């Protein structure tokens, strides 16, 4: 991308906290570009990155342990503002001669932060009437702050919870401002990047699109590009963005595996081929997929079959486009972070789903990934800016294998057709009742068991459908959504009356953990 919207950027050094991605998202929400890198990033690379500010994340280690994660000694001499969060604050204190000790009482969960002294520029907008609820997650605490630092706040169990050295632009907090459980946390992070680091906030959807278009045109030139269009958010936004940049040089291959939601194949074609004028090759592969899945019940085996056959079909179609030089993918920033974490072992792993995976090396296509710097919420925002339908852009996550892993056990056309109808009724009712956008993910599951029922004056022996709805911020943990009884009753009644083959509906009230969000 061009320099414009990358000139002002924040560096986040990751010490292994489960919340590090949330720090990056909060910085981006302040419309400032940031990147997440391992804590041992070299000083030369940090200088080359030229950050306007540095954030040190939390982490599971103790600063006094042998071999504890640390940063380059000269980092604090670069003259840029630094904010340490949890372990990051302890490291900051330890580096400058403060004392960090194990807490007599560990502090996890909600706490009340109380102001001490006069807040400096980072904290003056954070407190309300001298206090603020925060989220804690630490086993050590700072017992003595270094010379030049002052204590700004404490909790009942931690005497040092916020510190500052205004002269050197060094700040630290023991709590986690990046999580939802710290209600005014976004104010603190916004203040750090916009006020302390003097960033203007140029990372906006319109600017991102303009910059991406320039970069795509610069990379691709007059070459042809192919993209595997799944109908999911990432591949859809990637297709719309690339088409905006290079028009007919893009060809999308849409493999309809027969495991999509009701009417989804036609919706994809209407949105891209008819409304946006994108060249889309639609491959009707339902029979091939269902044939390969016949008799297979193991979830992992089903995933491998569906993924492998997709690659085979995509390759078959790609060979027909003989003058293509580029393969476009909807890779997003969490995918990049996970990949880096797998290589270094330092970044935490977050489950991600690639739109196209495992393509053979001999395809010899260069990779185009215009979304690789963006989080999912940023992808959705630019999707709307590009004119994609709101319901497509903000649709709940859908697994790569589609209904193949929402039909428990063997996948059959009869089961897929039943599930499609039940799921469509469920989602329609969630939209109608206003619940859909409050829920992080909702879907129906087909259970291959029959139960006895009564319809009219006759006995029935038909299938069971389960409904799932969860609330989550990061999909690492999730709570079941408390659906009002009257809405559940209406949804159940419609499914049983309108979907032939179903006589019982159940609602899943399991949280993650111990359950997963998807059933398979």
Residue 339 annotated as part of some ligand binding site:
no
The β-bridge relationship of strands 366-368 and 324-328 is parallel
Residue 218 annotated as part of some ligand binding site:
no
Q: Which of 35, 107, 178, 373 is catalytic?
A: 178
Q: Tokens for 321, please give them.
A: 């486009």
As beta bridge partners, residue 445 has 466
Residue 132 annotated as part of some ligand binding site:
no
CB 230 within 8 A of CB 400: yes
Residue 234 annotated as part of some ligand binding site:
yes
Residue 42 annotated as part of some ligand binding site:
no
Best CA proximity match to 119, nearest among 54, 63, 173: 173
Q: How far apart are CA 142 and CA 188, in angstroms?
A: 20
Helices 20-29 & 333-344 angle (0-180, nearest 10)? 150
93 counts as catalytic: no
252 counts as catalytic: no
Q: Which of 37, 94, 141, 176 is catalytic?
A: 176
Q: Which of 86, 93, 197, 199 is catalytic?
A: 86
Q: Kindly state the helix (H) or strand (E) to which residue 502 belongs, with its residue range.
A: strand 502-507
Angstrom CA distances, 230 to 12, 240, 480, stand at 32, 13, 28
Q: Tokens for 69, please give them.
A: 């994660």
Q: Tokens for 481, please give them.
A: 């959504």
CA 154 to chain centre: 32
Residue 235 annotated as part of some ligand binding site:
yes
Q: How far apart are CA 515 and CA 512, in angstroms?
A: 5
3-state SS, residue 512: strand
CB 324 within 8 A of CB 226: yes
Q: Residue 186, exposed/middle/buried by CB under 10 A (0-12, 13-18, 19+)?
A: middle
Best CA proximity match to 227, nearest among 421, 370, 401, 420: 370
Best CA proximity match to 379, nearest among 226, 201, 244, 235: 235
Q: Which residue has the tokens 């989080």?
A: 375
Q: Please write down the HEC assignment for all residues of 29-48.
A: HCCCEEEEEECCCCHHHHHH
Angstrom CA distances, 1 to 65, 214, 335, stand at 41, 7, 19
Q: How far apart are CA 350 and CA 100, in angstroms?
A: 30
Residue 84 annotated as part of some ligand binding site:
no
Helices 376-385 & 233-246 angle (0-180, nearest 10)? 50
Q: How far apart are CA 310 and CA 131, in angstroms?
A: 55
3-state SS, residue 177: coil
6 counts as catalytic: no
Q: How far apart are CA 13 and CA 57, in angstroms?
A: 6
Q: Which residues are catalytic?
A: 86, 176, 178
| Annotated binding-site members | 230-236
| Annotated binding-site members for ATP | 230-236
């Amino acid at each position: 991308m061009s320099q414009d919207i990358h000139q002002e950027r924040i560096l986040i050094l990751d010490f292994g906290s489960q919340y590090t991605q949330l720090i990056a998202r909060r910085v981006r929400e302040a419309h400032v570009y940031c990147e997440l890198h391992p804590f041992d990033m070299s000083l030369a690379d940090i200088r080359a990155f030229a950050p306007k500010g540095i954030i040190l994340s939390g982490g599971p280690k103790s600063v006094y342990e042998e071999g504890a994660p640390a940063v380059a000694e000269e980092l604090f001499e670069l003259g840029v503002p630094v904010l340490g969060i949890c372990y990051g604050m302890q490291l900051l204190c330890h580096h400058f001669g403060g004392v960090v000790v194990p807490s007599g009482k560990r502090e996890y969960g909600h706490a009340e932060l109380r102001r001490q002294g006069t807040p400096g520029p980072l904290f003056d907008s954070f407190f309300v009437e001298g206090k603020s609820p925060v989220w804690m997650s630490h086993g050590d605490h700072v017992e003595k702050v270094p010379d030049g630092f002052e204590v700004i706040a404490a909790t009942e169990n931690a005497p040092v919870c916020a510190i500052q050295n205004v002269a050197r632009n060094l700040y630290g907090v023991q709590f986690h401002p990046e999580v939802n459980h710290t209600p005014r946390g976004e104010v603190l992070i916004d203040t750090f990047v916009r006020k302390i680091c003097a960033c203007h906030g140029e990372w906006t959807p319109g600017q991102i699109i303009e910059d991406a278009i320039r970069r795509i045109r610069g990379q691709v030139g007059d070459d042809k590009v192919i993209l595997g269009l799944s109908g999911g958010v990432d591949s859809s936004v990637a297709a719309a963005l690339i088409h905006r940049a290079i028009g007919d040089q893009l060809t999308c291959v849409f493999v309809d595996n027969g495991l999509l939601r009701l009417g989804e194949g036609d919706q994809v074609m209407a949105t891209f081929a008819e409304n946006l004028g994108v060249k889309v090759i639609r491959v009707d592969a339902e029979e091939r997929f269902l044939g390969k899945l016949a008799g297979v019940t193991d979830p992992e085996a089903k995933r491998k079959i569906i993924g492998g056959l997709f690659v085979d079909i995509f390759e078959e179609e790609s060979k027909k486009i003989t003058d293509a030089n580029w393969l476009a993918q909807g890779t997003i920033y969490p995918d990049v972070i996970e990949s880096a974490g797998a290589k270094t072992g330092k970044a935490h792993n977050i489950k991600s789903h690639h739109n196209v995976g495992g393509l053979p090396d001999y395809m010899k296509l260069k990779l185009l990934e215009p979304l690789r710097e963006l989080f999912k919420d940023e992808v959705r925002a630019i999707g709307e800016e590009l004119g994609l339908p709101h319901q497509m852009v903000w649709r709940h996550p859908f697994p790569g294998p589609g209904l193949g892993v929402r039909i428990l056990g063997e996948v059959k056309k009869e089961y897929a057709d039943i599930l499609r109808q039940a799921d469509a009724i469920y989602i329609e009712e969630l939209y109608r009742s206003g619940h859909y956008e409050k829920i992080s993910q909702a879907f129906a599951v087909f259970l291959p068991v029959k139960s006895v029922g009564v319809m009219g004056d006759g006995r029935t022996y038909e299938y069971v459908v389960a409904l799932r709805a969860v609330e989550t911020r990061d999909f690492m943990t999730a709570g079941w959504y408390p659906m009002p009884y009257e809405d559940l009753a209406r949804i159940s009644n419609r499914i049983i009356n309108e979907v032939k083959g179903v006589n019982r509906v159940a609602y899943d009230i399991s949280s993650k953990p111990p359950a997963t969000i998807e059933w398979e």
